[in-house]
Structure 1
Amino acid sequence: MIGKLKGVIDALGDDTALLDVNGVCYEAHCSGRTLQALPSVGEAATLHIEMIVREDMIRLYGFATQGEKNWFKLLMTVQGVGSRVALAILSTLSPSDLSSAIALQDKAMVGRAPGVGPKLAQRLVLELKGKVPALGSIDAGTIGLQTALGEGVASGNVADAVSALVNLGYAQAQASGAVARVVAKEGEDVATEKLIRLGLRELSS
């Protein structure tokens, strides 16, 4: 099995990278996020590899970080998520954003990825609940929100407030942190509109 490849970028495609390792070129399918992180053609690069072997093919999937590779493997454990959908999710959301979405049970955020409908998004956040922290990629803002909530799973109004702040242009970690501070002061049974308003006040202070 191939776990990691170190070589020189030979070519970059829309969803693949060709890595020259001592004269042997390996084609790896990559997320858009990994492709953006890779250096230019002719420069040295390292890819964390997940190799999938089936009767009719052997295919390599390459990732810029071990964390992204871990996410790929975890996503593929959910029924209805194949390699193409897993890469689409990883192209749309960073590991930190995914961690936050699962912790907050925010199916709308997961549903932003191409090929992920409402039912699949719901299945993803439900089946992966509790598995995310083990990957070590959850952001500080979400950890604070989990602490404020006591169990790490947000009710609908809290998740909606975080999503609203993210849609206003704030980073996921900032939004989660702001809502965490509000929940710690006011409790989690605050109306969504008030959570958003107080969250904005926290972000501007």
Structure 2
Amino acid sequence: MIGRISGILLDKTPPLALIDCNGVGYECEVPMSTFYLLPQVGDKVTLLTHFVVREDAQLLFGFGTNQERLMFRQLLKVNGIGAKSALAILSGLSIDELIQAVSLQEAGLLTRVPGIGKKTAERLLLELKDKFTLDSALSIKGSGITSISQDVLNALIALGYNERESLNAVKSLDMNLTVNDGIKQALKYLSKG
């Protein structure tokens, strides 16, 4: 298995990156999130990879982060999702959007991705719901959820609100609150809905 590739970027045309490794050019298909972060042609590049061997092809997929590669591998385990579909999902949604969609069971976010219909989105949600917890959605870097927000979320769940309601209430909060004030504001938000 090829787990990592490092070399000179010879060409980049969505979704392909051509990387020269000591005279051998490897074509890597990359999600758009990785494509936008590729350096200029002629510069050194390193990608984490996933190698797929099929009867009719050998495909190399490249990723800028380990999180992207792990998510890609998780998507491949879903019945009916192949490498091209998994790449399209990662190109159409950020990792935290995908985890949020699965945590909140929102098929609408997934159907925005070209090639993902309602039935496929529902299958994705069903098969991935046990793989991603709300905690993993909150731990994604850049999600904007602080430890205070996490405490408020835990309190709301302990009070009997479901994860979706609780997460929506926490997202509506001002981030400069204490836990007590956050719980009060979240309860006000929930009482309006």
TM range (shorter): 0.7 to 0.9
Q: How many angstroms apart in 2 are the aligned matches of 1:153 and 1:115?
A: 31
Alpha-carbon offset, residue 76 of structure 1: 1.1
- Computing the radius of gyration from Cα coordinates, the structure with the larger value is 2
Of the candidates 137, 140, 165, which is equivalent to residue 140 of structure 2? 137
Q: CA deviation at 1:72?
A: 0.5
Q: Deviations over 1:19-44 (max 9, x none)?
A: 11111110011111111111110111
Match of 1:185 in 2: 186
- Matches of 2:170 and 2:61, distance apart in 1: 31
Residue 177 of structure 1 aligns to which amino acid in structure 2?
K
Q: CA deviation at 1:152?
A: 10
Aligned length: 177
Deviations along 1:43-102, one digit per CA (max 9) or x if unpaired, are 111111000012222110111111101111101111121111111110111111112111
Percent of aligned pairs with the same residue? 34
- Supply the distance in 1 between the matched residues of 2:74 and 2:113 (Cα, whole angstroms): 16
Aligned partners of 2:107 and 2:128: how far apart in 1?
12
TM-score, normalising length: structure 2: 0.77
Q: 1:165 corresponds to which residue?
A: none
CA distance in 2, matches of 1:30, 1:137: 21
- The Cα shift of 1:15 comes to 1.0
**SS, match of residue 97 in structure 1:** helix
With normalisation by structure 1, the TM-score equals: 0.73
Sort the Cα spacing of 1:141 and 1:21 in 2 relative to 1 into closer, same or farther, 3 A. Answer: same
For the structure 1 residues 44 and 87, does the alpha-carbon distance in structure 2 shift closer, same or farther, using more than 3 Å as the test?
Answer: same
Q: CA deviation at 1:107?
A: 1.4
Confirm or deny that 1:17 pairs with 2:26. no
Structure 2 gaps of 5+ residues are 175-181
- How far residue 140 of structure 1 moved from its aligned partner, in angstroms, is 5.2
2:116 alignment partner in structure 1: 116
Query: Which whole-Å CA distance do the structure 2 matches of 1:43 and 1:6 have between them?
Result: 11
Any stretches of 5+ residues in structure 1 without a counterpart? 163-174, 196-205
